[in-house]
Chain A
Amino acid sequence: MPADTVSIMGIFSSEQRAALAIDGLRETPWIIEQVYSPIPSHAIEHALEPPKSRVGWFTLAGGIIGFFTGFFLAAFTSLRWSLIVGGKPVVALVPFFIVGFEFTILFAVLGNVLGLISQARLPRFETPAHYDERFSGDRFGVLACCSEDEQDELTRFFETNGAEIKTNDV
Chain B
Amino acid sequence: MEQTLTYKSIDNTVLDTLTPPQRSYWVLVALLFAGILLGAGCWTYQILVGIGVGGQNNPVFWGTYLINFVFWVGIAHSGTLISAILHLFRAGWRNPIARAAETMTVFAVCTAGLFPFIHLGRVWMVYYMLPVPNQRTLWPNFQSPLMFDVVAISTYLTVSSLFWYTGMLPDLATIRDRSHGLRHKIFKVISLGWTGEWEIWRHYTRGYLFFAALATPLVISVHSVVSWDFALSVIPGWHTTIFAPYFVAGAIHSGLAMVLTLMIPLRIIFKYEAIITTHVLESVAKTIVFTGLIVGFAYATEIFIAWYSHNPVEVESFRWRAFGDYALEYWIMVTCNTIVPLLLLFKKVRTNIRILFVISLLVNVGMWYERFVIIVGSVAHDFLPHAWGLYAPSLVEFGIMIGAFCLFFFLFVLFVKHMPSVSMTEMKETLQEGESHAG
A–B direct touch in complex (beta carbons closer than 8 A)? yes
- Chain A residues within 8 Å of B, Cβ to Cβ: 15, 34-42, 44, 48, 50, 52-53, 55-56, 59, 63, 70, 73-74, 77-78, 80-81, 83, 85-86, 88, 92, 95-96, 98-99, 101-103, 105-106, 108-110, 112-113, 115-116, 119-128, 131, 133-138
**Would you call B26 an interface residue if the criterion is a C-beta within 8 Å of the partner chain's C-beta atoms?**
no
B207–A136 CB distance below 8 A:
no
Q: How far is the CA of A124 from the CA of B200 in the complex (A)?
A: 11
**What is the minimal beta-carbon distance from B16 to any residue of chain A, in angstroms?**
14
**Would you call B162 an interface residue if the criterion is a C-beta within 8 Å of the partner chain's C-beta atoms?**
yes
Q: Which of B133, B170, B200 has the most CB of A within 10 A?
A: B200
Interface pairs (9), CB distance under 8 Å: A34-B198, A53-B205, A70-B151, A73-B142, A74-B142, A106-B159, A113-B166, A124-B193, A137-B7
**Would you call B121 an interface residue if the criterion is a C-beta within 8 Å of the partner chain's C-beta atoms?**
no
A124–B211 CB distance below 8 A:
no
Q: How far is the CA of A110 from the CA of B158 in the complex (A)?
A: 9
Please give, as numbers and ranges, the residues of chain B lying within 8 Å of A88 by CB-CB distance: 143
A122-B193 CB under 8 A given contacts A85-B143, A116-B207, A136-B177: yes
By DSSP majority rule, is chain A's interface helix, strand, loop, or mixed?
helix
Q: How far is the CA of A112 from the CA of B218 in the complex (A)?
A: 15
**What is the minimal beta-carbon distance from A74 to any residue of chain B, in angstroms?**
4
Q: How far is the CA of A126 from the CA of B196 in the complex (A)?
A: 14
**What is the minimal beta-carbon distance from A72 to any residue of chain B, in angstroms?**
11
A102-B201 CB under 8 A given contacts A78-B142, A80-B137, A122-B192: no
B178–A137 CB distance below 8 A:
yes
Stretch at the interface among B57-65, B311-319, B390-398, B424-432: B424-432
Q: Which of A34, A125, A137 contacts B199 (CB 8 A)?
A: A34
A37–B194 CB distance below 8 A:
no
Please give, as numbers and ranges, the residues of chain A lying within 8 Å of B203 by CB-CB distance: 53, 55, 115-116, 119-120
Please give, as numbers and ranges, the residues of chain A lying within 8 Å of B221 by CB-CB distance: 98, 101-102, 105
**Would you call B253 an interface residue if the criterion is a C-beta within 8 Å of the partner chain's C-beta atoms?**
no
Q: Which of B8, B199, B210 contacts A56 (CB 8 A)?
A: B210
**What is the minimal beta-carbon distance from A136 to any residue of chain B, in angstroms?**
4
Q: Give the nearest-CB partner of B148 in chain A.
A: A98
Q: Which of A50, A55, A105, A131 contacts B214 (CB 8 A)?
A: A105
Please give, as numbers and ranges, the residues of chain B lying within 8 Å of A106 by CB-CB distance: 155, 158-159
A-B pairs, 8 with minimum CB distance: A138-B7, A124-B193, A123-B192, A77-B139, A133-B177, A74-B142, A116-B207, A53-B206
**What is the minimal beta-carbon distance from B189 to any residue of chain A, in angstroms?**
8
Please give, as numbers and ranges, the residues of chain B lying within 8 Å of A44 by CB-CB distance: 198
A136–B148 CB distance below 8 A:
no
By DSSP majority rule, is chain B's interface helix, strand, loop, or mixed?
helix
Q: Which of B138, B151, B195, B429 contacts A135 (CB 8 A)?
A: B195
B214–A36 CB distance below 8 A:
no
**Would you call B117 an interface residue if the criterion is a C-beta within 8 Å of the partner chain's C-beta atoms?**
no
B196–A37 CB distance below 8 A:
yes
Q: Which of B7, B142, B170 contacts A99 (CB 8 A)?
A: B142
**What is the minimal beta-carbon distance from A115 to any residue of chain B, in angstroms?**
6
A105–B155 CB distance below 8 A:
yes
A34-B197 CB under 8 A given contacts A99-B142, A112-B207, A137-B8: yes
Please give, as numbers and ranges, the residues of chain A lying within 8 Å of B11 by CB-CB distance: 137-138
Please give, as numbers and ranges, the residues of chain A lying within 8 Å of B381 by CB-CB distance: none
Q: How far is the CA of A168 from the CA of B192 in the complex (A)?
A: 24
A131–B195 CB distance below 8 A:
yes
B198–A37 CB distance below 8 A:
yes
Q: How far is the CA of A42 from the CA of B432 in the complex (A)?
A: 9
Q: Chain B 166-210, CB within 8 Å of chain A: the 1/0 string?
A: 100010011011100000000000001111111111111111001
**Would you call B306 an interface residue if the criterion is a C-beta within 8 Å of the partner chain's C-beta atoms?**
no
A95–B207 CB distance below 8 A:
no
Q: How far is the CA of A101 from the CA of B200 in the complex (A)?
A: 30
Q: How far is the CA of A120 from the CA of B211 in the complex (A)?
A: 16
A96-B207 CB under 8 A given contacts A36-B195, A113-B166: no
A123–B214 CB distance below 8 A:
no
Please give, as numbers and ranges, the residues of chain A lying within 8 Å of B205 by CB-CB distance: 40, 53
Q: How far is the CA of A110 from the CA of B159 in the complex (A)?
A: 8
Q: Which of A70, A101, A109 has the most CB of B within 10 A?
A: A109
19 additional A-B pairs beyond A85-B141, A102-B225, A105-B218, beta carbons within 8 Å, are A37-B196, A48-B198, A53-B205, A70-B151, A77-B133, A78-B142, A83-B141, A99-B148, A102-B148, A105-B155, A105-B217, A119-B203, A120-B207, A133-B178, A134-B177, A136-B170, A136-B196, A137-B178, A138-B7
A38–B7 CB distance below 8 A:
yes
B143–A92 CB distance below 8 A:
yes
B198–A136 CB distance below 8 A:
no
Q: Give the nearest-CB partner of A132 in chain B.
A: B177
A103–B151 CB distance below 8 A:
yes
Please give, as numbers and ranges, the residues of chain B lying within 8 Å of A78 by CB-CB distance: 139, 141-143
Please give, as numbers and ranges, the residues of chain B lying within 8 Å of A122 by CB-CB distance: 192-194, 200
